[in-house]
Each structure stands twice: as C-alpha cells, then as structure tokens.
Amino acid sequence: MRLVAALLACLAATPAIPAGAPITKEAMVAMLKTLDERQRNQGDWKALIYMEQKERDKADVAYECLVFRRDKDEKFMILFTKPKAESGKGYLRMDKNLWMYDPTVGKWERRTERERIGGTDSRREDLDESRLAVEYEPADKGEEKLGVFTVRHLALTAKPGIDVAYPVIELWIDVASGNTLKRQDFALSGRLMRTAYYPKWQKIFSESKGSDVWYPMEMRFYDEVDKANSTILLMKAVDLKPLEANIFTKAWLESKSR
Amino acid sequence: MNPDTFVLLVRMAFRNLFAARLKTLIVGSIVFAGAFLVVLGLSLLESVNDGMSRSIVDSLAGHIQVHAAASKDKLEIFGGMGGFPDLAPIPRFPLVRDRLLTLPNVKAVVPMGINGAVATSGNVVDNALEKLRDSVRRAGKRPTKALRAEIGARKALVRRMVELLEQDLLSAASISSEKAENAVTIANVHRAAQPAYWARFDDDPLASLEYLENKVAPAAAEADMLFVSYIGTDLDAFRKSFDRLEITDGTFVPPGKRGFLFAKFNYEEMFKVKIARRLDRIKEAKEIGGRTIARDPELKRWAGENVAQTHEILYQLDQLGAEAVERALQRDLKLPGLKLDALLAKLLDINDTNFAERYRLFYADVAPSIDLYKVRIGDDLTIKAVTRSGYPQSVVVKVYGAFQFRGLEKSALAGSMCLIDLVSFNELSGFPTTESTAEIAGMRKAAGAKAVSRETAEADLFGGGTTTVQTGHTGDVRIPDRLSGASSRRAGSAFTPADLDRASVLNAAVILKDPRRMSRTMREIEALSKKEGLGLKVISWQTAAGLLGQLVLLMRLVLFVAVGIIFLVALVVLSNAFVMATLERVRDIGTLRAVGARRGFIFAMIVVEAAVVGIIFGGAGAVAGGAVVELIGWIGIPAKSDVMFFFFSGPRLKPFLRISSVVIAAILVLIVNALSAGYPAWLAARITPRQAMATDE
C-alpha cells in the first residue's frame, strides 16, 4: 500500500509536460491521468462550497452547499445549506442516475448530466471526481501563453457511449504545475457553450491516499450562450475524514430536512 | 335644380334604363354583387371579431391588460414563439390596483402571472415507486394497519410492473443489436422480478427501493412529460370578474387556500388515460361529426393506436386487479381462456358496428380498476416550473377541481390555461423576497468573491502571479443535524390577504364597465400611470392576444382588398358601359341640346341614371346580403374544430346584421357609381346639336 502511495505521489509530483515541442498521445493521456489522479482521493471527500450566479436582468443568486464524494464507489452528493429557501435541497448520484431532491415537496426527480447545479453555470462534473482520461480522447493543439503562464492546449473529445455534459472540451494546462487553468466546453455542433478559469489550486495531504489531493479553490464560469451570465464557485474548505457508511442514500438526504 | 326637373330626370332615367334592359341588367348585377358581398363579408367578419373578442376577453384577458413597462418581453397572454413572456413584476401592485379602480370605467383589476410547468415527470415505474416510497416513509417503524395495506397494494403493483417490464425487455432484446448492454439491464430487472427479491423487500425497504429506482426504473419507457400552462391569480377575484367560468368537476378553491384548478379541456386531453381519451373522441366524432371508423383515417389511426398500446392499462393493474378485469372481459367478450393482454387487444379492436358495445364494456369492465386520470381531482399535484436559468422550483398544491368557460367548452385555446393561486405561483417563479435578497447580500459579503469581467478575466486572473498552487490542510466541514430553513409548501395550506398583497404580480386584467369606451379608458390609464409614476404599459386585449388578436385585423384587410378589387373592376366595367350608352345616344342628346337642354341638364341626366342603377341594384344587393346574414344567423355556422370554437365563441357562429355594414355598402356603391358615371356624363354634356347632326345613324 505504501509502495502504491509512493508511486502515486511520484506521478502527481512529476512535471508532466515537456517544454515546447508537440507531444505524443501517450503523453497527453498521461497529463490527463495526472490531473485525474491528483484530484482523486482514495477515501471520502467533503467540501463546503460557495456559488454565486449573475444572470441577465435578474437579481444575483448565491448558495452554500456541502459536496460529498466517495471516489472508490463513484458516489456523489450535494446538500444545499444556504440560503434558507434552498436549504435541504440536494443532488445524489447513484449509478448512472443523477437525482434531485426538493424537500419543499418531498420529491425526487431524475436529472441529466447537463443539469445546471442550482441553475448556475456549474455542472455535476465540476464538483465530482475528475475522470478526463477515462471519458475523453485528447489531441494536441500546441503550447501557448495564458497571461504569464505557459500552457499546453489540448482538445478533448468524449469517448463513444459515455454520457458527459459536453462532448468536446479544450484545456489549457499549466506547463509548470500541471494544473488546468482554463477550460472551454463545446456542444456537438462545435458551438462554444462555456469558458471556465481555475486561477487558484490547493493541495492537502490525504491520510487515506497517502499523498496530496489537489482541488481548484476558485472556479469562474462564463456562459458563452448568454454572455451576461457567469458563476463564481469557491471551495471554502475540504475535509477528507471518513464519512458515515450510509450517507449516499436518499433516506439520508431526506433526513436532513425532515 | 327644382323638384320638377329632378322628377323629369328620374323619369327619363327609368325610361332610358328600361329601354336598354340587357345593359342595365349586366351593370346592375355587378352593383348587386358588390353590395351583397360587402354586407355579407362585413357582417361575418364583425361576428367573428365579436366571437373571438368574447373568447379572449371573457376567458383570460379582460378588456385591457397592464404590465410593468420595464419588462424585457411584451405580454402575450397565450404565449409567443419563444414560450411565455419574461415580465418584470408590477411595482407596488396593491397601489396600482387601487388607483386604477378610481377610474370611472374600471370595474375590476385582476392580478395575474402566466407560466408553464411540468405537472408529472418520470416514467410509469418511477411514479409507482415514488408512491411506494411515500408510503414506506410515512409508515416509519410502526406502520398502522391501513398503511401496511397501502404498502402491500403498492408493492403488488410495482412487482407486476417489473414482471411486465422483464417480458418487454426480453422481447425487445430478441431484435436488438446491443446485446451486452441489454444483458446487464435484463439481469437487473430479472433479479427484481424474482419472488426472493420481494420476500426480502421488507428487511430493508429503502435499500430495496433504491435498487428498483436506480437499476430497474431507468429500463422502462421514456417518461411521459405532461406540461401545464397556468395563470397565477387571486382566484376569488378571477371568478368574480370572469363570470363565464363554471366548475365541471370538484369544487372551487376555498378562499384563502392554495389550490389548483385544471382547465377541463386540458385535463381531458392531457391527463386522461390515452386509450380512454381516444375512445371518447371517437364517440364524439361519430355522434356529433357523423364520422365513421371505416372511412375516416384519423379515427382508424386512433383505433389502431389503442390496440397497440394496451400496456398503458396493463401497467396500472396489480395481480388482483388484472385477474378481475380478465374475468370480466372473458365473460362479456365470451372468450373464456384468453389472457388479459389478448382480451384488451380484442376489446379495443373496434369498428363502426361494435363500437358502442365495446365503449360500454371499456367503461364497465376496465375503467373501474384503473385510474382514468393521471392526476385525480382531490389529489396533491406536484408542479415543477423551470426558471429561465434552468433550475427547477416545485410546489405541491391540491387539485380542487376542473373548470371551463361557458360556451367555450370545446375551445383548445380558452381551455389551455389552468388556474393556480398567486402565492403558489410566486413560489414557483422563485421571485426574490426582501428577506431572501438581504440573506443573499449577507452571503456575498461574507464570501468576498471579487467580480472579474469576462473581457479582462485572463489578464486579471493570470497576469501577475507566478504560482497558482497553495498548500493547505484538511478542514473541518460540519454537517448540520437538520436544516430548518426548508419551508413546507404543503397542499391545502392557507395564506392571508397580506400574503396575497405581498405577492409579485406580472400582469393584470382590467375589466371595464362599458367596453365600448376601451380606447378612452386606455388613454386614461396611461395618463394616470405617467402622472403617478406607476410604470405601467397598457395594451388592449387584441395586443395581449398576440398573433391571435391580429388575426381579425388581417381578415379585415383581406376583405377590404377583395372588396376594393371587386369595386375597381366594377368601376371600369360600369364606366365603360355608361360611355358606350352615351355614345349610342349622341343623336338623342344632340336633339335634347337642340331643344334647349343645357349642359348641366345632360350631365345630371347621366348621373341620375347611374344613381338609379346604384340605388335599385345596390339596395337589392344589400337587402339580399342582409337576408342571407339573417338566414345564416338563424341556422348558425357549426364550429367543426377546436380553433373554430374559439373564433366563434361557442359551438355555432350566429352572424348578425349591423347597420354600419349596410351604410358602408351603400356609400361604396354610390361612390363607385358616381365615379363611373362622371366621365360619360362629362362626355355627354359636351355634345352639341351640330355634332349630333353630323353623326351617322
């Protein structure tokens, strides 16, 4: 186990991108695996997040919620805690089903991967475990500058039969740190749907993983369809302590507001 | 001109016209047709306009609509091409209402808001599991006898659904190419169809339910989403102001209660079991429309769909119910030994001969064992409205009844909008309240997130720093024991008049005492809004009805163009005929001139001839048009489609004759005749005796 943890730590710490020249597909897949591996925790994950949505001709909306993950079982849940009118609402992913619970009516409803979490520009996969290497095929678009950062620009296409929010995405990966700094999501038609920025990353040590777990502390999403809409997502705290065994159930989420 | 001369001119006109009988008849026919068409066309148009205005005014719009001038979209009460309009709430609605009521012609002001939502979602298995989950949840650890029975019945239904689903999947798999994926799904469903699964169900009912919800239900057919359009309103005020509203099922929502009323037309069309609805429509088409299954392709298609979709019934029946229906059908169809699915297909295999009997049997043997409506009167209805950002808001409201507008029972448009109380409407729309706005402002302040515009985002976020990575420590994120904020919007809960006054209102119907003074009242409201800063946009019912309201204008335009073309042709033909007649009478006119007739007399003679034709034939045309209008008005034009019901404001259009139509026809005929007689009269007046004498015979 220690050996595995050490190997994973090495993989995560390796500067994944050679400077300059075009890179092979294997190297690109390795970069995606690094991104996925860094963000994966072998045990449980609990985060307090803040979301703020600006929308054309509408009052700004803000939420606080708890995000729960159990990566080994691909389990995922969101519990809204603020504002008062939204508290108790939640999302629960079980197998391939994304359920939404509304305590005001006591009902569950199956939602799609394209669900806008809380009506914001964020999606379930923005908060869930990263699975880029599993879900997408990469292609190299060269090295570029993003502000003062040198980044590797990759174009990713969803693998057949995998249900993702966006079938085509482009990533700008920091050559120095190996983290994604910018991402653009496209519809199948090629239309740009959303641009996301990840300006701050944090790493914390995970006992269960035996190495660091990385996560973006701040995410900014800009809607490219309605240009007036944007979302800020702040990861305020991440707690890697084990969760209750039965937490990823409908009954548990219901119990929080009953 | 003295009276004797006028009488002489008239007598001469009659003599001349009678002398050229054929020509007079041809010219007169054209005038007759023009007058006839003007009277008939205008009367029909006015009647349709009247019917449609009653349909719109009496069912939804009132005479005038007001909404916030600051709104992004314009109000379209039946929804436009892009769905329902995005309207800003009317600021200080109670004040606006009170001020409008001070105007002398304003009878009532009814607050409104229009939106659409999903009334049910999830497939048939999802919905059955939801009910079972609800029973399990309510039962807790010590279920009552009644709850145990309820759980037992719901389990039996789900179990039968799973068995039917397995059969369906196996049939589908035999012709599918996606073997591997199907095998997993079939294995999941097969497990849930085993007696062992149900024997262990009660050991951990919630875990058993989650298996069914996640592994089994997704394999069922796609969900049948049912959308409802609704008006959120002060229901009491609505009922008082729209007096054609009548309750057909259940009761009206009690004052001060949250509640929902289905539009009867929508309820029957959307919420009734499709097989039953198709049978009803076939019956109606046969009895009222005189259509036959043998000859009518639509009826034939409905009959075929019923035979192919018997699963709609099968999925509703648990084992006991299925056995009861099977026994009844075996007995009444005299087909002992046949299985239920085959019996249902046999029952629904209809033709013109057996239809009446099969219809009776469906309602006698099958209907009592199933829910004929997906939502029943008295049920709690969950409505999920999706806000413009795509985030759903839900409320549960009790369905108190169904309503229709008297005379508009068959109109799809008047029967398209359901009614919901204004307080629930506000919750569905997610309008911010003062408290929620303050709470969100506090959250934003605490978070301290810096706003970054999209234009400068890359420079602001990545322009300065050298690293984006920090090292931190695992935090201590606490899970609250219980979230107390989620307010319960339970069915039947009440609200106070103050809640109603605080509710956001998107538009309001203004009902007038005298609708004929609508334009003037609109101007008064605009002036009041400007003077007192009410911020209102004022529109008539035609504008509020969107494209529908413009239809009458379009029809009027088409009629006027048609009439214009007819009269233009008439003008040319008449003028030509009068010129020919004048030229044929050069010698007569020259003789008249020779015996002392002045040019003015000759001019008047030709004009009076034309006028006599116009008055006699135009008058006859107008009378004939009026008679036909009266005749049609007595018989009535039947509305043969839902849209015609709306335009006619009832099952028949009964056109009426308006004096204005006759006056317009008379004026048009006289103008055309005068214009067509002008040139030949001028020509005739210029004829001299010498010219006449020089003219050959």
List the domain boundaries for chain B.
3-55+549-694, 127-219, 252-308+317-416
Q: Output B642 or A230, whichever has higher pLDDT.
A: A230
CA–CA separation, A89 and B578 (whole Å): 86
What three-state secondary structure class fits B242? coil
User: pLDDT, tens digit, for every residue of B228-251?
Assistant: 899 999 999 999 999 889 999 999
Q: Does B263 have pLDDT greater than 80?
A: yes
CA–CA separation, A43 and B567 (whole Å): 89
Q: Output A206 or A258, whichever has higher pLDDT.
A: A206
What lies within 8 Å, CB to CB, of A146 at 6+ separation is: A172, A174, A181, A182, B458, B462
Is there a contact between B95 and B101 (Cβ–Cβ < 8 Å)? Answer: no
* B64-68 vs A230-239, strand pairing mode: unpaired
User: pLDDT, tens digit, for every residue of B305-353?
Assistant: 999 989 889 988 888 888 999 999 999 999 998 989 999 999 999 999 9
* Chain B residues touching residue A89 (CB < 8 angstroms): 486
Q: End-to-end alpha-carbon separation of chain A, Å?
A: 42
As given in the structure block, the two tokens for residue B200 are 């262990």
CA–CA separation, A189 and A194 (whole Å): 14
What three-state secondary structure class fits A154? strand
Within an 8 Å CB–CB cutoff, is residue B395 touching chain A? yes
Q: How confident is the model at residue A12 (pLDDT cuts 50, 70, 90)?
A: very low
Q: Does A136 have pLDDT greater than 80?
A: yes
CA–CA separation, B683 and B459 (whole Å): 87
Q: Is A82 close to B395, i.e. CB distance below 8 A?
A: no
* Chain A residues touching residue B134 (CB < 8 angstroms): 106
Q: Is A234 close to B449, i.e. CB distance below 8 A?
A: yes
Per-residue confidence (pLDDT) for residue B106, from 0 to 100: 96
CA distance A197 to chain B (A): 8
Q: What is the ipTM of this complex?
A: 0.85
CA distance B374 to chain A (A): 17
CA–CA separation, B360 and B358 (whole Å): 5
3-state SS, B629-645, equals: HHHHHHHCEECCCHHHH
Q: Is A201 close to B469, i.e. CB distance below 8 A?
A: yes
* Number of other residues whose CB lies within 10 A of the CB of residue B444: 17
CA–CA separation, B111 and B234 (whole Å): 6
Per-residue confidence (pLDDT) for residue A128, from 0 to 100: 85
For residue A85, the 8-state DSSP code is: G
Question: CA B120, B121, B126, B132 torsion: positive or negative?
Answer: negative
User: pLDDT, tens digit, for every residue of B581-617?
Assistant: 777 878 888 888 888 888 888 888 888 888 888 888 8
Q: Is B483 close to A234, i.e. CB distance below 8 A?
A: no
User: pLDDT, tens digit, for every residue of B411-446?
Assistant: 777 788 999 999 999 888 877 777 888 899 999 999
CA–CA separation, A247 and A24 (whole Å): 42
Per-residue confidence (pLDDT) for residue A133, from 0 to 100: 94
For residue B177, the 8-state DSSP code is: S
Per-residue confidence (pLDDT) for residue A10, from 0 to 100: 45
Greatest Cα-to-Cα distance within chain A, rounded to the nearest angstrom:
58
Q: Is A177 close to B468, i.e. CB distance below 8 A?
A: yes
Selection from B132, B136, B113 nearest residue B204 by Cα = B136
User: pLDDT, tens digit, for every residue of B121-132?
Assistant: 668 888 889 889
* Chain B residues touching residue A64 (CB < 8 angstroms): 443
Q: Does A111 have pLDDT greater than 70?
A: yes
* Chain B residues touching residue A217 (CB < 8 angstroms): 470
CA–CA separation, A179 and A25 (whole Å): 18
CA distance A22 to chain B (A): 24
**Percentage above 70 pLDDT, chain B:** 94
Report the DSSP beta bridge partners of residue B153: none
Within an 8 Å CB–CB cutoff, is residue A9 touching chain B? no
Q: Does B633 have pLDDT greater than 90?
A: no
Range of lowest pLDDT (A195-204, B108-117, B647-656): B647-656
* Number of other residues whose CB lies within 10 A of the CB of residue B397: 29
Q: Which residue's structure tokens are 């951990």?
A: B204
CA distance A60 to chain B (A): 8
Q: Does B218 have pLDDT greater than 80?
A: yes
Q: How confident is the model at residue A138 (pLDDT cuts 50, 70, 90)?
A: very high
Q: Is B457 close to A62, i.e. CB distance below 8 A?
A: no
Within an 8 Å CB–CB cutoff, is residue A224 touching chain B? no
**Percentage above 70 pLDDT, chain A:** 91
CA–CA separation, B538 and B529 (whole Å): 9
Q: How confident is the model at residue A20 (pLDDT cuts 50, 70, 90)?
A: low
User: pLDDT, tens digit, for every residue of B377-415?
Assistant: 998 888 888 765 566 778 888 999 999 988 777 777 778
Within an 8 Å CB–CB cutoff, is residue A52 touching chain B? yes
Within an 8 Å CB–CB cutoff, is residue A106 touching chain B? yes
Q: Output B246 or B22, whichever has higher pLDDT.
A: B246
Q: Mark which residues 233-252 of A lie under 8 Å from B by CB.
A: 234, 236-241, 249-251
As given in the structure block, the two tokens for residue B340 are 């239920």
Q: Does B271 have pLDDT greater than 70?
A: yes
Per-residue confidence (pLDDT) for residue A14, from 0 to 100: 46
Q: Is A203 close to B470, i.e. CB distance below 8 A?
A: yes
Q: Does B272 have pLDDT greater than 50?
A: yes
CA–CA separation, B74 and B114 (whole Å): 13
Q: Output B109 or B486, whichever has higher pLDDT.
A: B109
Q: Does B80 have pLDDT greater than 70?
A: no
The dihedral formed by the CA atoms of B457, B459, B464 and B466, expressed in degrees to the nearest 10? 80
Q: Is A203 close to B472, i.e. CB distance below 8 A?
A: yes
State the amino acid at position A71 in one-letter form.
D
What three-state secondary structure class fits B473? coil
Q: End-to-end alpha-carbon separation of chain B, Å?
A: 33
Over residues A232-248, the mean pLDDT reads 91
Question: CA B217, B218, B224, B228 torsion: positive or negative?
Answer: positive
Q: Is B384 close to A237, i.e. CB distance below 8 A?
A: no
Per-residue confidence (pLDDT) for residue B178, from 0 to 100: 64
Q: Is B482 close to A256, i.e. CB distance below 8 A?
A: yes
Is there a contact between B263 and B416 (Cβ–Cβ < 8 Å)? Answer: yes
CA–CA separation, B292 and B274 (whole Å): 20
* Candidate from B443, B449, B458 with C-beta closest to A147: B458
State the amino acid at position B511 in one-letter form.
I
Per-residue confidence (pLDDT) for residue B640, from 0 to 100: 72
Per-residue confidence (pLDDT) for residue B179, from 0 to 100: 64
Q: Is B388 close to A55, i.e. CB distance below 8 A?
A: yes
Per-residue confidence (pLDDT) for residue A13, from 0 to 100: 46
What lies within 8 Å, CB to CB, of B584 at 6+ separation is: none
Residue ranges in B362-506 assigned as alpha helix (H): 422-429, 434-447, 457-462, 497-502
Report the DSSP beta bridge partners of residue A192: A186
Per-residue confidence (pLDDT) for residue B360, from 0 to 100: 96
CA distance A154 to chain B (A): 18
Per-residue confidence (pLDDT) for residue B305, from 0 to 100: 94
Per-residue confidence (pLDDT) for residue B39, from 0 to 100: 87
CA distance B135 to chain A (A): 12
Per-residue confidence (pLDDT) for residue A3, from 0 to 100: 44
Selection from B399, B489, B634, B544 nearest residue B87 by Cα = B544
Q: Output A40 or A182, whichever has higher pLDDT.
A: A182
Instruction: Tell me the CB-side half-sphere exposure of residue B286, using CA atoms within 13 A.
Output: 22
Q: Is B443 close to A109, i.e. CB distance below 8 A?
A: no
Per-residue confidence (pLDDT) for residue B428, from 0 to 100: 86
* B392-405 vs B260-263, strand pairing mode: parallel
**Percentage above 90 pLDDT, chain A:** 51
* Candidate from B384, B440, B485 with C-beta closest to A60: B440
Per-residue confidence (pLDDT) for residue B695, from 0 to 100: 67
Nearest CA in chain B to A110: B122
For residue B433, the 8-state DSSP code is: P
Q: Is A104 close to B457, i.e. CB distance below 8 A?
A: no
Range of lowest pLDDT (A5-9, A164-168, B529-533, B554-558): A5-9
Per-residue confidence (pLDDT) for residue A15, from 0 to 100: 46
For residue B57, the 8-state DSSP code is: I
User: pLDDT, tens digit, for every residue of B156-187?
Assistant: 999 999 998 998 888 887 776 666 667 888 99
Question: CA B644, B649, B655, B659 torsion: positive or negative?
Answer: negative
State the amino acid at position B458 in one-letter form.
E
Q: Output B299 or B485, whichever has higher pLDDT.
A: B299
Which domains does chain A carry? 2-255 (2.50.20.10)
For residue A201, the 8-state DSSP code is: E
Per-residue confidence (pLDDT) for residue A9, from 0 to 100: 47
CA–CA separation, B67 and B507 (whole Å): 4
* B245-250 vs B380-386, strand pairing mode: unpaired
Judge if the upstream peptide bond of residue A83 is cis by omega within 30 degrees of 0.
Answer: yes
Range of lowest pLDDT (B76-80, B459-463, B569-573, B625-629): B76-80
CA–CA separation, B511 and B541 (whole Å): 11
CA–CA separation, B125 and A97 (whole Å): 15
Per-residue confidence (pLDDT) for residue A222, from 0 to 100: 95
User: pLDDT, tens digit, for every residue of B532-553?
Assistant: 999 999 999 988 887 777 777 7
For testing contact with chain B, the best of A53, A107, A172 (most B CBs within 10 A): A107
Per-residue confidence (pLDDT) for residue A151, from 0 to 100: 93
CA–CA separation, B183 and B170 (whole Å): 9
* Chain B residues touching residue A146 (CB < 8 angstroms): 458, 462
Per-residue confidence (pLDDT) for residue B670, from 0 to 100: 82
Per-residue confidence (pLDDT) for residue B355, from 0 to 100: 95
Q: Which residue's structure tokens are 């769905």?
A: B83
- Secondary structure (DSSP) of B503-565: S--SEEEEEES-GGGHHHHHHHHHHHHHHHT--EEEEEHHHHTTHHHHHHHHHHHHHHHHHHH
Choose the most confident range, by mean pLDDT, from A13-17, A213-217, B179-183, B597-601: A213-217
CA–CA separation, A258 and B19 (whole Å): 100
* Candidate from A55, A58, A257 with C-beta closest to B483: A257
Q: Output A64 or B1, whichever has higher pLDDT.
A: A64
Cα separation values, B162 from A231, B178, B194, B486, B585, Å: 43, 21, 9, 35, 97
* Chain A residues touching residue B73 (CB < 8 angstroms): none
Q: Mark which residues 115-144 of B lie under 8 Å from A by CB.
A: 121-122, 126, 130, 133-134, 137
CA distance B443 to chain A (A): 7
Selection from A37, A34, A8, A7 nearest residue A173 by Cα = A34
What lies within 8 Å, CB to CB, of A3 at 6+ separation is: none
User: pLDDT, tens digit, for every residue of B461-511?
Assistant: 998 766 678 888 888 888 888 776 555 445 457 888 888 888 889 999 999
Across A55-104, the runs of DSSP E, i.e. the strands, are: 61-70, 75-82, 90-94, 97-102
Q: Mark which residues 162-191 of A lie under 8 Å from B by CB.
A: 174, 176-177, 179, 181-182
Over residues A54-69, the mean pLDDT reads 86
CA distance B134 to chain A (A): 9
* Candidate from B388, B469, B474 with C-beta closest to A238: B474
As given in the structure block, the two tokens for residue B575 are 């003028």
